[in-house]
Structure 1
């Protein structure tokens, strides 16, 4: 078999088979929930001598970690039972022999006449009470006959056996569930042996389930446990064998039972011999009360157990472990000597890399890999292994590659969409996608990631559509909220939630605090394997919530994680975690929490440690593209509609986008409609000039954890030698005053992203359209998605799904109408307004004096705004804030770089766009997300359009305070602010 064929077989394993668990959801659809027990009061008394039957069966279910135990309704006579069934339903009837005057045979016949498919089980107190019945054909009216011995395990076995019979056909067809055939005609031995058989199957199946599965998936996978079918004669056994031959896991047979309606002493020997002839590799077990029959078992060949052996349970367990492969996989050499063991898929994969060639070929030739995987319910891969033979491979090396690659692929597939508890001894950085340290909550941001990871694991069609693109969530480990609680409590940091404590004091206290030793140990185990750059991000309980997302309020740190000394890397990681923790007590989050009526001391923080999306370019690490895409566009331009969405992208780290610097804005559905790039002059003016990157060489501790950011802000023109810059740029030709769509030409580079949007270097617009459609459907409303893209020419393009959060505007249900007269006589009118509603409680207006505005002084303006805001916020006086440029940007040349704590009392914001400061609306920033989530109306007034603002009326109001750049006025009466969210229009009116 060639490598190409081998790789095809690997891809044939469905990516969503294990992660979605759809196949397990559809198994065991027919459950026994209601049992009707028909018995005389005395029989019922005997059965309940050791306790209530329902309680006992519930205890049996709990003891085996099985779900949904059935309920039992006990009725004392046949007549009452028939009356019950005429008006109520039951899933199974268990009847004792003594049921009143009618007789048990008559009862069974009438039940079958009423419902031929209703299982009827005869349960007797001893073999003599049913001896005459067994000798006649009339016993066939019962689905099965058992003997009560006082063991409540029998009830569980009866329930499971009936469920197996009801579900075996659909479950084998849908999921290739394995089947056991148990052949024995004696009700007493069957009643003794079947409970033990079921208990052993359940325990062994639970024992081999991967420790990496979460509890939900372990329970689902239990539905694929082997089924037990019972035959009482040769013909029944052969019929079951031929019907389910493809799915048979093993056969256990008595030696003496009927064949052709005659009792044969060697029927079991004949049966197993025939089955071995048809399926040479099937495990067989012969049982007999006569020890002499052991010699015949060797001729079949089959294992042998003496029915009267005091070690019968121990011997059966040995058969399960060694012959049915529920135990360790024992690797043996050509002489049969044990050379290695594997007790998990991980250790199995490791052993496969080391065992000698003769051992590998021996186990493959005997289909032992198939059998061992089936014992673990790894049905899909087991079937792939069974479909090939050694002769398909040109060499033992290609066989080894095939087996190892498929096992590795299976282990990866198992983890798609699953959050796994971190265990250092089994952690494998290449296998585990999403891991959790601690027992607390994941926090909002991590919860959103875990949710979308699970949703994406179901989207087979989506991944098939983009086969040439790697689409994934970066590998993630989350430190749960309980670790934060422990850290704060052990270091007495609770007092830092007070609003009066400065950030620098908070930061210093958190950095000096001791981190829990057990978590330090686990993080060290993590770092032993993980050596790529990391992003350490917040995931508070309130972050990315449906109503108030708390976007961008907490700290994020990127660390190179490339020091040769692991202690240095560990120290940097713990420092980053502490600083993320500290940010819960910083001034910004406190102010925001106060505005939302949430309490800072109630906030709990989880931390996301994530593979940092990006690539190495000389001394720096950054992705080709970072961006934000939103499913709702607040500022559409025809033919674009609001539901077509809007994307903002930039070269380098996403800080450029989320903090409102120069980015490229486009609609994924119409990627070539670019208003900000409508002419060469517009492109030169609006194109991104700076980008952010993580310095990975010669980075100092002080630089890594400085307060403003540990990323470097680089000028694009200084890094035109980087392939990715040329890849995404055009070249400006001054003498032609044009930009050519190639970064390979001589001349200044201009970041146009034409290779993506125009020439489809990768189908980013299409991926984004599909992503927002999937996200909106999954979250039940508009969403915002953060993403990154790697484009290194030597590698497959990779799309990283970084974050998803709901988009919230608030108040959309209020019907607000703005008349033409109101537009004409308004103080302010905007054709691009965000929010929805009417506000009549504002009298205060803070505005930047048009005649005093200086773009170079925007940071000074922030200080003045912050001072007036503090006063008005304390007085609980809401206000309107007006000024030029983009509010909340980190680029002071595009607008006024306020942060939330600078404007925490604001009720509405007016952004003024004029010929000197015409920054494009930035919908992808954290600032933008937070103001819309709080219901703060945002009006954009563009000079030279139908928008208007009456400066004369505003300035004629009583002056409250004037600074170098601001005026604060108060109107005699509250003004009226109206925003029509459906039309994106807003007005401010005199009252």
Structure 2
């Protein structure tokens, strides 16, 4: 079903993905006559395209173009500024482009020098000359501004491919083409498909860091111009290959070989049978030959070349939606993300599941979505490992579910009403602060994920933070401002707590927040604790702990509007507790100002068990890292824990609870006898 290379056990942490694509093109020196520069720039459109492209991929610092008209001006610039790349056009003032390139290489040997041709006469004069020692790469520009973007991306891929494949198993596409005409045409098409795929994956990401992961983990494109170069790239990046695109006719052993592509792809197919291969050729008779490889054939002169290449990406490389098909090719369903795939799998006919598993379609689709480590985990499994298709379905569903929960665990995920996933552990709505309590919960969730030692110590117990949804302080600020409630803090207004509560309950929740709460409740049916999480609540010094209200909601009414109304009232009451007498008095005593306090709200799943239409809460408690009253052999730094059955109200109010030291849980002094 899914073959693998077991040596690809690379780390996929977000920290690692920050290190990918580390080498960037920041400064480009464009050397050409004024007319050529004007044609390329098209009154500023080229620079705008580059900036927009980088914004679309959530990339910062797009490369900057510096234009000069002569070789003399170019050297003046090079003396005062560091450039990452030179792109030169033949029509230079005062010096031939080859002479200019030779002098650049003499003075700046490590600086890449690319030649860009667009004039018919220039192409005829320069295209056949072998000056590879001077010109690192030659491109032919036909007016498509995407070419410059492709040149930049391809150069960056070459700089980053070694580190990114070795450390994150990033995928690689090899294109073998010796004609500048054709690789200048193909590269923009390839990168356009990769960019569109990356953007679709970015849209499905859980937060900014996850978007960064997806963007930097996109496939790399490497270009070879001969059989030997192609073999070298293949052997070096064999474990990471996504596909190989090849012409049929190009140099082998220094001589043009009309069957070089056939020989290359036959060798690759023999070693990696399920690797998708594409032949791009102008010779139609090659269509029959590629059947023996086998590979897909596209004629370079096809009137719909771009569409056919796009179709190859979708059909063979897993780009775009996952399309479920029957063995005869009939489409029966399609999904765009992991969550949809998980939910739909149980409804897909067994024949379709087996068909896609046999063709390695599942892991290939995961690869294309930068779910590389997940795809590599699945690939060792064969269809023969499962007694029947139902077991295969169950395995896929459970694996995808665990994956979705896994990459969300320990992460603060941005809320999106259209893509809200009720299986997500920690969700935040709004751009404000999480508040003290929610910040502590988020920290604990991240620590549990980062340090697996606790889970390893208790393998039979699932240790996690109950599902948490946080309304950031932005919700509170909008609520206060839209309803003019700040007036309640005026010194000449002395309202009782009851009157303040009435004012808050009458006020209207912001529409955006109300809509978000509706989307939340559509998927959440468990009992909810509506908890305060103010800025000052869990401060290290002078905390406002215990001053604000918490409300428990059964969230069990069959009518969504009823449940929504109850939740909105609870949120308003938590907001109102900020202005009540006790918190205001405490604020004065600690030199804080009530108007500086902002309230986030935590909506948290209550843990417990349902029995005969009743919900029974589990154990609640408080653990303290320092025990002020140690007895017997206990030490103060070993801490103390207070637990009780139920919601924990008795614990917080100092009632009778079970006390024990976490280091010695069986030492229960409350049950000791006098003789002990």
CA distance in 2, matches of 1:295, 1:414: 46
CA distance in 1, matches of 2:611, 2:574: 27
Distance change (3 Å), C-alpha of 1:279 and 1:658: same
Q: Are the equivalent residues in 2 in contact too, given 1:257–1:267 (CA < 8 A)?
A: yes
Distance change (3 Å), C-alpha of 1:115 and 1:403: farther
TM-score (norm 1): 0.61
C-alpha deviation, 1:193, in angstroms: 2.7
C-alpha deviation, 1:198, in angstroms: 1.2
Match of 1:242 among 235, 239, 249: 235
Partner residue of 1:606? 600
C-alpha deviation, 1:412, in angstroms: 0.7
CA distance in 2, matches of 1:228, 1:602: 53
Q: After superposition, where does 1:773-784 map in structure 2 within 5 Å?
A: none
Distance change (3 Å), C-alpha of 1:300 and 1:663: same
CA distance in 2, matches of 1:209, 1:48: 29
CA distance in 2, matches of 1:33, 1:71: 6
Distance change (3 Å), C-alpha of 1:156 and 1:596: farther
Partner residue of 1:157? 150
**Cα deviation per residue 1:63-114 (whole Å; 9 max; x = unaligned)?**
4443321233445555665676567533323233355666544554555455
Q: Are the equivalent residues in 1 in contact too, given 2:644–2:651 (CA < 8 A)?
A: no
Q: Are the equivalent residues in 2 in contact too, given 1:184–1:232 (CA < 8 A)?
A: yes
Q: After superposition, where does 1:42-191 map in structure 2 within 5 Å?
A: 43-51=36-44, 54=47, 57-75=50-68, 77-78=70-71, 81=74, 89-97=82-90, 103-109=96-102, 111-112=104-105, 117-126=110-119, 128-129=121-122, 131=124, 133-191=126-184
Q: After superposition, where does 1:608-627 map in structure 2 within 5 Å?
A: 608-615=602-609, 621-627=616-622
C-alpha deviation, 1:668, in angstroms: 5.3
Largest Rg, 1 or 2:
1
Greater percentage in helix:
2
SS at match of 1:138: coil
Partner residue of 2:538? 544
Partner residue of 1:530? 524
C-alpha deviation, 1:189, in angstroms: 2.9
C-alpha deviation, 1:453, in angstroms: 2.9
C-alpha deviation, 1:287, in angstroms: 2.4
Q: Are the equivalent residues in 1 in contact too, given 2:41–2:47 (CA < 8 A)?
A: no
CA distance in 1, matches of 2:494, 2:29: 69
Indicate whether 1:385 and 2:378 are aligned. Answer: yes
**Cα deviation per residue 1:287-310 (whole Å; 9 max; x = unaligned)?**
233455444445544334343444
Partner residue of 2:643? 650
C-alpha deviation, 1:562, in angstroms: 4.0
Q: Are the equivalent residues in 1 in contact too, given 2:242–2:276 (CA < 8 A)?
A: yes
Partner residue of 1:480? 472
Distance change (3 Å), C-alpha of 1:128 and 1:493: same
Match of 2:579 among 585, 599, 603: 585
C-alpha deviation, 1:639, in angstroms: 9.1
C-alpha deviation, 1:162, in angstroms: 0.9
CA distance in 1, matches of 2:560, 2:34: 73
**Cα deviation per residue 1:431-450 (whole Å; 9 max; x = unaligned)?**
21112344544333223333
Partner residue of 1:445? 437
Q: Are the equivalent residues in 2 in contact too, given 1:209–1:376 (CA < 8 A)?
A: no
Indicate whether 1:303 and 2:296 are aligned. Answer: yes
What is the root-mean-square deviation of aligned Cα atoms in Å?
3.7
CA distance in 2, matches of 1:411, 1:322: 25
SS at match of 2:601: strand
Q: Are the equivalent residues in 2 in contact too, given 1:127–1:147 (CA < 8 A)?
A: no
CA distance in 1, matches of 2:36, 2:631: 81
**Count of aligned pairs between the two proteins:** 669
C-alpha deviation, 1:55, in angstroms: 5.2
Partner residue of 2:206? 213
SS at match of 2:158: helix
Partner residue of 1:508? 502
C-alpha deviation, 1:407, in angstroms: 1.0
CA distance in 2, matches of 1:520, 1:573: 10
CA distance in 2, matches of 1:545, 1:112: 60
**Cα deviation per residue 1:824-847 (whole Å; 9 max; x = unaligned)?**
xxxxxxxxxxxxxxxxxxxxxxxx
Partner residue of 1:432? 424
Q: Are the equivalent residues in 1 in contact too, given 2:471–2:600 (CA < 8 A)?
A: yes
Partner residue of 1:857? none
Indicate whether 1:203 and 2:196 are aligned. Answer: yes
SS at match of 2:640: strand
CA distance in 2, matches of 1:461, 1:141: 56
C-alpha deviation, 1:500, in angstroms: 1.4
**Cα deviation per residue 1:587-646 (whole Å; 9 max; x = unaligned)?**
11121233344443443322111012445699773433511324x66778999887x363
**Cα deviation per residue 1:389-417 (whole Å; 9 max; x = unaligned)?**
21233333332222221111111112123
Q: Structure 2 stretches of 5 or more lacking a match?
A: none
C-alpha deviation, 1:383, in angstroms: 1.0
SS at match of 2:340: helix
SS at match of 1:50: coil
Greater percentage in strand:
1
SS at match of 1:377: coil
Distance change (3 Å), C-alpha of 1:389 and 1:169: same
Q: Are the equivalent residues in 1 in contact too, given 2:317–2:368 (CA < 8 A)?
A: yes
Distance change (3 Å), C-alpha of 1:85 and 1:461: farther
Q: Are the equivalent residues in 2 in contact too, given 1:477–1:610 (CA < 8 A)?
A: yes
Greater displacement, 101-110 / 431-440: 101-110
